[in-house]
């Protein structure tokens, strides 16, 4: 049908999504009219309405993709080909991927192809299931991320995790002797709720040679530099709604507690910290679930990742103890960070990927331990410098000068 009717890529994408002249929405769960009612006063209200209506419409530094040679997929994807294909089929069923054969792909010459990779999931056989990675930063200098106009992205505001610690102290001062509790919730699929405009999907192509298949990512993919700032506008909307509620507002005045709830979000992770006063905990958890559904639709709640209210919880890689009023790193993560630093000291040089892994391990160490920050800053600078070099000399990281 595609070959007979000579559909362009945007036309086929809109057909698959059910976009019509009367209803242009690429994701039918997002409702601009609902945002007009619920998010009046929220700083990104118009952006959310625009994305709900037409999809994510970023700017591009080039008018269209141009590739002389299609990059090969990473070895990690080739080694686990069956699991990679299963992941793509799952995404295809969820309207995340558009998959066409080579003959159809030949109709569209201006599609940017980025390599696929795969990483193992925790406690899962990689031959059965993997986490599919679309490497949109390759090749360096000519990648989808390089072509993305960062100036067109919304300004994302991330609140430091220290806000959770301050909230714990605040609750203790306002409610002395009352048990303080913490819970966390998670958005199901996060970035995948945000569909790209039909004109932008040509930058999100991939290719499976063994299947002779072109894969188009139709949503904001993990690994695209625009996904975090665009999603932050939606995550912020969820917190904005939660922060406007209280036990008084959500019980129709039956509960006299009118103190606003405390919302905190980091990308798709949401955290609540409240005193265990009458009705407050149940209202707070209900408010978070309702806000997620109001912003992202009925399938947004990832109930498997919602915790119960507790006095201790591991949140964003840190352990918060409400009774002791302490914040610490899990022992396993400390050992992992220490092992990586020790290994670095015995190496002549390291790759950029190894530097990035070490950065991830030390991010919370530098937050909890100020004396570690100079080393973390040197490591971050080295990672940026290693962009164009294959290896970076290890010894310079330990040179305090």
Residue 386's pLDDT is 65
- Token pair listed for 139: 């090749």
Give the residue, 153 or 334, on which the prediction is more confident.
153
- Mean pLDDT for the stretch of residues 78-92: 95
Q: What is the reported pTM?
A: 0.90
Q: Which CATH number fits domain 2-22+55-150+195-223: 3.40.190.10, 3.10.10.10, 2.40.30.10, 3.40.309.10?
A: 3.10.10.10
> What's the rounded mean pLDDT across residues 73-84?
94
Lowest average pLDDT, out of 150-154, 183-187, 349-353, 388-392, goes to 388-392
> Would 2-22+55-150+195-223 and 162-190+230-328 be classified into the same CATH topology?
no
**Residue 55 to residue 136: CA distance in whole angstroms:** 19
Q: With left for phi above 0 and alpha for psi between -120 and 50, is residue 324 left, alpha or beta?
A: alpha
Is the separation of the CB atoms in 48 and 237 below 8 Å?
Answer: yes
- Tokens 């978070």 identify what position? 288
Distance (Å, whole) CA 55 – CA 196: 5
Cβ contact 73:115 at 8 Å: yes
- CB-count burial class (<10 Å; 0-12, 13-18, 19+) for 160: exposed
> Looking at residues 99-121, what average pLDDT do you find?
93
Match 């990742």 to its residue by tokens.
305
Would you state the structure tokens that stand for residue 150, as one six-digit string?
A: 């960062």
CA dihedral 233, 236, 240, 246 (to 10 degrees): 150
pLDDT category at 337 given cuts 50, 70, 90 is confident
Distance of CA 353 to the CA centre of its chain: 20
Q: Which residues contact 318 (CB under 8 A, 6 or more apart)?
A: 161, 327, 328, 329, 364, 367, 368
What is the mean pLDDT of the segment spanning 151-173? 94
Closest CA to 229 of 202, 265, 200, 267: 267
- Mean pLDDT confidence for 133-147: 94
DSSP strand E in 276-362: where? 312-315, 318-321, 326-328, 349-350
Write out pLDDT tens, residues 295-334. Answer: 999 999 999 889 999 999 999 889 999 999 999 989 888 8
Task: Please tell me the distance from the alpha carbon of residue 386 to that of residue 140, in angstroms, as a whole number.
Answer: 12
* Token pair for 327: 């914040």
Each residue's pLDDT tens digit, 239-280: 999 999 999 999 999 999 999 999 999 999 999 999 999 999
How many residues are recorded in the chain? 401
Point out the least confidently predicted range of 185-194, 296-305, 364-373.
Answer: 364-373
Other Cβ atoms less than 10 A from the Cβ of 58: the count is 22
pLDDT > 50? residue 124: yes
Q: What is the dihedral of CA 212, 216, 222, 228, to 10 degrees?
A: 160
Please give the Cα distance from 153 to 109 (Å, whole number).
27
Contact 386, 355 (CB under 8 A): yes
Q: Specify whether the CB–CB gap between 315 and 271 falls below 8 A.
A: yes
Minimum mean pLDDT range among 119-128, 189-198, 314-323: 119-128
Vertex 184: Cα angle to 182 and 187 (nearest 5): 165
What confidence score (pLDDT) does residue 400 get? 56
Distance of CA 114 to the CA centre of its chain: 19
- Please provide the CATH number assigned to the domain covering 162-190+230-328: 3.30.70
The domain limits of the chain are 2-22+55-150+195-223, 162-190+230-328, 331-398
Tokens of 378: 């040197």
pLDDT score of 401 more than 50: no
pLDDT at 398 over 90: no
* Separation of alpha carbons 99 and 107, rounded Å: 14
Residue 217 DSSP SS3: strand
**Cα(276)–Cα(359) distance, rounded to whole angstroms?**
37
Q: Is the pLDDT of residue 176 over 90?
A: yes
* DSSP code for 397: G
Alpha carbons 183 and 282: distance in angstroms, whole number:
11
CA atoms within 13 A on the CB side of 372: 16
Average pLDDT of the chain to the nearest whole number: 92
For 294, the token pair is 């109001």
């Amino acid at each position: 049908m595609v070959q007979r009717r000579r559909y362009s890529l945007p036309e086929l994408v809109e057909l698959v999504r059910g976009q019509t002249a009367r209803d242009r929405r690429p994701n039918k769960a997002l409702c601009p009219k609902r945002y007009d009612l619920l998010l009046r006063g929220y700083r990104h209200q118009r952006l959310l309405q625009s994305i709900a209506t037409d999809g994510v419409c970023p700017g591009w530094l080039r008018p269209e993709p141009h590739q002389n040679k299609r990059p090969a997929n990473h070895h990690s994807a080739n080694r686990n080909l069956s699991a990679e294909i299963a992941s793509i089929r799952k995404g295809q069923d969820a309207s995340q991927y558009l998959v066409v054969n080579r003959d159809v792909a030949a109709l569209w010459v201006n599609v940017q192809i980025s390599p696929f990779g795969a990483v193992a999931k925790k406690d899962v056989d990689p031959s059965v299931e993997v986490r599919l990675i679309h490497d949109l930063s390759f090749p360096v200098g000519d990648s989808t991320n390089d072509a993305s106009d960062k100036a067109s992205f919304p300004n994302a505001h991330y609140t430091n995790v220290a806000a959770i610690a301050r909230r714990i102290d605040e609750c203790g001062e306002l409610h002395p002797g009352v048990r303080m509790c913490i819970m966390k919730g998670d958005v199901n699929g996060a970035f995948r709720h945000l569909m790209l405009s039909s004109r932008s999907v040509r930058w999100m192509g991939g290719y499976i040679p063994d299947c002779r298949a072109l894969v188009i990512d139709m949503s904001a993919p993990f690994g695209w530099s625009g996904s975090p700032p665009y999603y932050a506008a939606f995550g912020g909307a969820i917190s904005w709604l939660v922060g406007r509620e209280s036990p008084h507002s959500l019980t129709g005045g039956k509960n006299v507690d009118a103190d606003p709830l405390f919302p905190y979000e980091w990308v798709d992770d949401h955290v609540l910290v409240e005193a265990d006063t009458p009705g407050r905990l149940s209202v707070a958890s209900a408010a978070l679930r309702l806000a997620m559904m109001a912003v992202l639709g009925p399938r947004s709640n990832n109930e498997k990742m919602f915790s119960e209210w507790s006095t201790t919880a591991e949140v964003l890689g840190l352990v918060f103890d409400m009774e002791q009023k302490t914040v610490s790193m899990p022992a396993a993560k400390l050992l992992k960070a220490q092992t990586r630093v020790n290994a670095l000291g015995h190496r002549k040089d390291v790759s950029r990927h190894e530097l990035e892994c070490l950065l991830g391990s030390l991010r919370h160490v530098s937050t909890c331990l100020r004396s570690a920050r100079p080393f973390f800053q040197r490591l971050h600078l080295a990672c940026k410098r290693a962009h164009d070099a294959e290896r970076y000399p290890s010894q310079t990281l330990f040179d305090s000068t």
